[in-house]
Amino acid sequence: MKKKVMAVLLSLCMMLTLVPVTAFAQLYLISLEAYPSQIELGETVYLDWTEDYGAAYYKVLVNGDTVATVYGTSYDYQPRSEGSYSFQIDVFAETNSGDIEYKGCSNKEFVEVKSDSRESYTPEIISDLSSSKKVSLGDYVTMSIIVSIPSQASTVYWTLYDAGQSGRGDDPIDSGKLTYPGTQTISSTFKPTSDDNGSQYIFELRYQGDSGTEYLHSNRCTLTVKDYSPETPYVTITQSSKTLAPGAAFSLKAKANTSDSGRLSYQWYYSKKSTFSSATKLKGETDYIYSGYAPSATGTYYYFCEVTNSRSGESVSDWAKVSIDVVGVTPVVPTSGSMNNFKTVNSYYNGMFIDVKATDWFASSVQNAYQLDLMKGYSANIFAPQGTFTVAEAIAAACRIHSIYYTGTSNFVQGSPWYQVYVNYALNNGIIRSGDFVNYTANCSRAQMAYIFSNCLPAAEFGAVKSVKYLPDVNVNTPYYNSIMALYNAGILTGNDAAGTFKPYNSITRAEVATIITRLALPNTRVR
């Protein structure tokens, strides 16, 4: 096979150069490679051939015409028109006499040149910049275009320019590159200053095209920057009522008017003084409506709503205030009631509460208090007899006793906080007075308990069954002295020992409360 190829090469060389047959032995035969075999117009053909060390130089023939004299063994050629091209190399060497003469040739290589399709390398803007944008000073603005990058394209570099108000500037503010084909978004976000008002912005794309580096430009976008600061809100408050009874529910509504598009936020405050600087923030009250209950002590109270307008990273606030007057009320005392209204409502069985044994001193009291619906368990099966009792829980128990005595029922609908309905009832029915207690969730002392329970039934129901004039730890200076002594003489309180020690400042337990409630509702259980 090799002999046939060499014969063909010799034949071609002889035909092209008309070398006499007698010169066959002097011909050099070299191997040529031309690649790629198919290109588009504007691309390059690369020629490489084997070296003949006896050669002085080589001539490159394209379609039979010499186009270059080469002293190396490679050559790059760029066709100027489409069509078929043949490439061949002629070898020239020095003779013994010092002359340069033709010594041989290479094989022919053929390359097909197609029409120019470089346009497929050009990126395309398929969604351009808008002609104008508006932004408030201090806000961010985004400039973006959507481009399509052909798969044949090289890396596309982009730059966003601030062309200034005249449109002739070229101040770059952002740049990047796209290295993969397909539809994609070029985007830049920045915060303009007041100096940028009226400036024009333009995207420039840079890529490799027919004539080297080429450029593609987007539309120009004119930016309007508004010098803006948040407007101070004008705040007013409307209220459901001005004069309230202690513990009465009320609501306040704040209104704030602004002409901008800022974000309004609300915060409520409370004070006994009319100055905002002395007000205390009400935690969690950040709605434009505030709903609450009047304090238990009479007097004038002030509520403030601070409204903040936030815009473009800045905030400005203003506030308004209203006052409410808490006035005392005359207790609503029913004209009649009966101890016969205390009846068994709930079923009780031994072992219902795992922490109440039938042998416990308080077991029967727990049973009675539960059956009369005056106390509940701490949970479904736990009573927690040694647990503490809060002021709110004592007031609630007293309200149930009072309501059952006068109406036969104790239907209370709890709200928020849960005990407010009982506080309101107690204030309105003379069980407690406004200002008696500062903290309803604090543990109830034994003296406070005596005061609250001594007011849940009329005085006639506390008839004396014995005469107690002295207690070891109670005297006329002890808080609620009269209430304590009244309950001792009525056989409702007995003390903690044979001497009748009361311990007025100790917290009362749930077992003790169950015992006192039972003696209040069932006179036959009182100690004589």
Task: Tell me whether strands 132-136 and 221-226 are parallel, antiparallel or unpaired.
Answer: parallel
48 contacts 73 by C-beta, under 8 angstroms: yes
In the chain, pLDDT over 70 holds for what percent of residues? Answer: 91
d(CA 234, CA 10): 103
Say if residues 223 and 196 touch (Cβ distance below 8 Å): yes
| Residue-averaged pLDDT of the chain | 86
Strand partners, 281: 269
Is residue 507 very low, low, confident or very high in pLDDT (cuts 50, 70, 90)?
A: very high
At residue 81, what is the residue type? S
Mean pLDDT of 121-133: 89
At 277, list the tokens.
């600087």
From 248, 149, 161, select the one nearest 207 (Cα to Cα).
Answer: 149
> Which residues pair with residue 160 across a beta bridge?
174, 203
Say what the pLDDT of residue 404 is.
93
Residue-wise over 213-248: b if at least 16 C-beta within 10 A, else e? eeebebebbbbebeebebeebebebeeeeeebbbbb
pLDDT, position 2: 39
Amino acid 330: pLDDT: 55
Q: Binning pLDDT at 50, 70 and 90, where does residue 230 land? A: confident
25/322 Cα distance (integer angstroms): 121
Phi, psi of 289 (to 5 degrees): -110, 135
Q: How far apart are CA 66 and CA 264, in angstroms?
A: 84
* Percentage of residues in the chain having pLDDT higher than 90: 54
Distance, CA of 175 to CA of 186 (rounded, Å): 10
**Tokens coding 162:** 């601030």
Contact between 106 and 74 (Cβ < 8 Å): no
State how far Cα 149 lies from the chain centre.
36
Query: What's the Rg (C-alpha) of the chain?
Result: 52
pLDDT of residue 335: 62
pLDDT digits (tens, 9 = 90+) for 132-180: 998 887 789 999 999 998 877 778 999 999 988 876 667 899 999 988 8
Q: Give the span between the Cα atoms of 377 and 386, in whole angstroms.
A: 12
Q: Which two tokens stand for residue 321?
A: 């205030």
Q: Measure CA of the first residue to CA of the last residue in the chain; give whole Å.
A: 138
Q: Which amino acid is at 410?
A: S
Number of other residues whose CB lies within 10 A of the CB of residue 485: 22
Cα–Cα distance list, 455 to 150, 296, 412, 415 (Å): 91, 17, 19, 24
Per-residue 3-state assignment (H helix, E strand, C coil) for 343-399: CCCCCCCCCCCCCCCCCCCCHHHHHHHHHCCCCCCCCCCCCCCCCECEHHHHHHHHH
User: Over 70: is that where the pLDDT of 461 sits?
Assistant: yes
Query: In this model, does residue 452 exceed pLDDT 70?
Result: yes
Q: What pLDDT, on a 0 to 100 scale, did the predictor assign at position 380? A: 87
The mean pLDDT of 326-350, rounded to a whole number, is 79
pLDDT at 5: 44
